[in-house]
Structure 1
Amino acid sequence: MQLPASRLRQLALAAAALALPLTGCSSAHHSTTSAAATGPTADSSPSSPASGEPSASPSASFDLSAWPTAPTDVDETGFPRGHSYGVLSRHYTGKDFIGALTRQWHISLAARKKLGPIGKGAGPAVWHAAGATHPSNGTELWVAGLWDLAGDLEYLSCGATAKAPGRAAFLHACARFDHIGARPAAAVRRLDGVTGPVDRKYREDHLPVDSPLYRAGPAAAYLLEYGGGPTPATYELTFFGVRN
């Protein structure tokens, strides 16, 4: 299955937002730009560069304690720019979990490719891979990941259009992410608890909306809802490594 160029662009924006030394969340319409995209190939492992320290943004960083505690309008990445982040755990690739998730939902993950650095002052390059499936006409389920150059997982994101068959079950499966320190049952309960409030805020403001942050071990997670124009309403559940 092909992953739309709009999703690949979002993945690039997420990588940039995780590294750029800017602070705060901003309200802006979600991008609905689309273009032709190349289809995924079979999954493969990244090459083996020298191991280094976890990726982190240069300069000032966003303090996660300032993350809003109620659903909030955000920019198109859904991520506060300038946050200093890290891998979920040293030598943790997420390979088994992501492999099982994509097999269960018939998603073909593309081979990993190097992404970035993006722009002046951006953080280090990362590996990225993504893939999607279309359970019915006009709907989509997708998975995307970012790894540092040593192959350690930094970011896992799962998305589903609101009307996709099996959408809730798919996001529940993603919420059961088995990173170090994970609490899968609690993560599923939290996802169920924030979906309604995020929906209401999204319907009121017609802008991308983030949920409050969920923390477990070295990971943080949030639910983003976005859409508009030719893009149907979409839920995106994202986990990322934290350093603070």
Structure 2
Amino acid sequence: MPLPSIHPRHLAAAALALALPLTGCSSSHHTTSAGTTHPATPASGEPSASTSASASPDISAWPTVPTDVDETEVPKVDSEILSRNYTGKSFIDALTRQWHIDLDARTKFDSTKDDKPAVWHAEGTTHPTKGTELGVSVVWDLAGDLESLSCGATVKAPGRAAFLHACVRLDHPGADPAAAVRWVDSITGPTDRKFREAGVTTVSPLYRAGPAATELLEYGGGPTPTTYELRVFGVKS
């Protein structure tokens, strides 16, 4: 039986629910919400919600502890490009080459159900062992600027922790790769505990660095393998 997608369709437009982690809401950004049903990817190294006055108001309301997505306090967030003229291509090429992931050809998604801008999207997966999966999903605006990088890994995938470490090192402007890795390590345990307690998709507090926010989701159970989804996305700076 094929594994279900590890990409978060609750963050996608309905027409592309199994592919895109973001949906369009303006010519320069897309709306994403961790507060809806998942299927079943700060400048310091500590998990926290941003309280920067320049950040999106929704970002400032992000939970400061791991939270199940059925709880109403998880906000919707407008996602932006990470930086003008930053495509992330060199980083993504190296990441996918290292982990033997072949990205599909970049495709254009244009929602037909609402007035949202088109985006470019590419994704790919690999199965390091039977029943395990690693995957990458990328979204750019039509100018080619990177909006988000998502990395998904089933919990039992060999090298899962190293893969998420590699993903969170995205070299966007203002990145602090060492702090980002420390954040992943610090938040995985608390997210695991909340996920086991809640039994539904759980989202971490945000890590902020430069123009980016990063979240860690955990979902699965039953016929769907438990999966981590690490997503780095642009926010208002």
TM over 0.5, shorter chain: yes
| Cα distance per residue 1:71-91 (max 9 Å; x no partner) | 01116xxx843x222110101
Amino acid at match of 2:35: S
Distance in 2 (alpha carbons) for counterparts of 1:140 and 1:69: 29
Structure-2 separation of matches of 1:134 and 1:98: 18
- Counterpart of 1:154 in structure 2 is 147
1:175 corresponding residue in structure 2: 168
Given that 1:3 and 1:131 are in contact with CA atoms closer than 8 Å, whether structure 2 keeps it comes out as no
State the shift of 1:102 in Å.
0.3
The DSSP-based 3-state class of the residue aligned with 2:195 is: helix
Given the alignment, which residue of 187, 201, 211 partners 1:194?
187
Per-residue Cα deviation, 1:44-88 (whole angstroms, up to 9, x for no partner): xxxxxxxxxxxxxxxxx761000000001116xxx843x222110
TM-superposed deviation, 1:12:
2.9
CA distance, structure 2, for counterparts of residue 31 and residue 223 of structure 1: 15
The alignment status of 1:141 with 2:134, answered yes or no, reads yes
Pick the aligned partner of 1:90 from 84, 88, 96.
Answer: 84
Residue identity in the other structure for 1:219: A
**Structure 1 counterpart SS, 2:114:** coil
Q: Distance in 2 between matches of 1:233 and 1:4?
A: 11
Q: 1:159 to 1:85 in 2, by over 3 A?
A: same
Aligned: 1:14 with 2:53: no
Moved more, 2-11 or 133-142: 2-11
Q: How far is 1:5 from its partner?
A: 5.4
Task: Name the CA distance, whole Å, in 2 between partners of 1:186 and 1:5.
Answer: 29
Root-mean-square deviation over aligned CA pairs: 2.4
Matches of residues 70-109 of structure 1 in structure 2 within 5 Å? 70-74=65-69, 80-81=75-76, 83-109=77-103
What percent of counterpart residues are identical?
A: 61
For 2:126, give the aligned amino acid: T
User: In structure 2, what is the Cα distance between the partners aligned to 1:14 and 1:120?
Assistant: 14
Contact 1:3–1:132 (Cα < 8 Å) also in 2: no
Q: Is the 8 A contact 1:62 1:80 kept in 2?
A: no
Confirm whether residue 211 of structure 1 aligns to residue 220 of structure 2. Answer: no
The alignment of Structure 1 onto Structure 2 pairs a total of residues equal to 207
Matched, 1:231 2:197: no
Kindly tell me: are residues 86 and 10 of structure 1, through their superposed partners in 2, closer, same or farther at Cα, counting changes over 3 Å? same
The secondary structure found in structure 1 opposite 2:22 is: helix
- Structure ranking higher in strand proportion: 2
Superposition TM-score, scaled by structure 2 size? 0.80
Q: Structure 1 residue 231: deviation in Å?
A: 1.0
Match of residue 26, structure 1, among 13, 25, 35: 35
Secondary structure at the counterpart of residue 239 of structure 1: strand
- Partner of 1:66 in structure 2? 61
The AA in structure 1 aligned to 2:78 is: S
Counterpart Cα distance in 2 of 1:118 and 1:74: 27
Which runs of 5 or more structure 2 residues have no equivalent in the other structure? 8-15, 41-55
CA distance in 1, matches of 2:24, 2:199: 24
Give the gaps of 5 or more residues in structure 1. Answer: 33-60
The letter of the residue matching 1:86 is E
Structure 1 runs, 4 residues or longer, greater than 4 Å off = 2-6
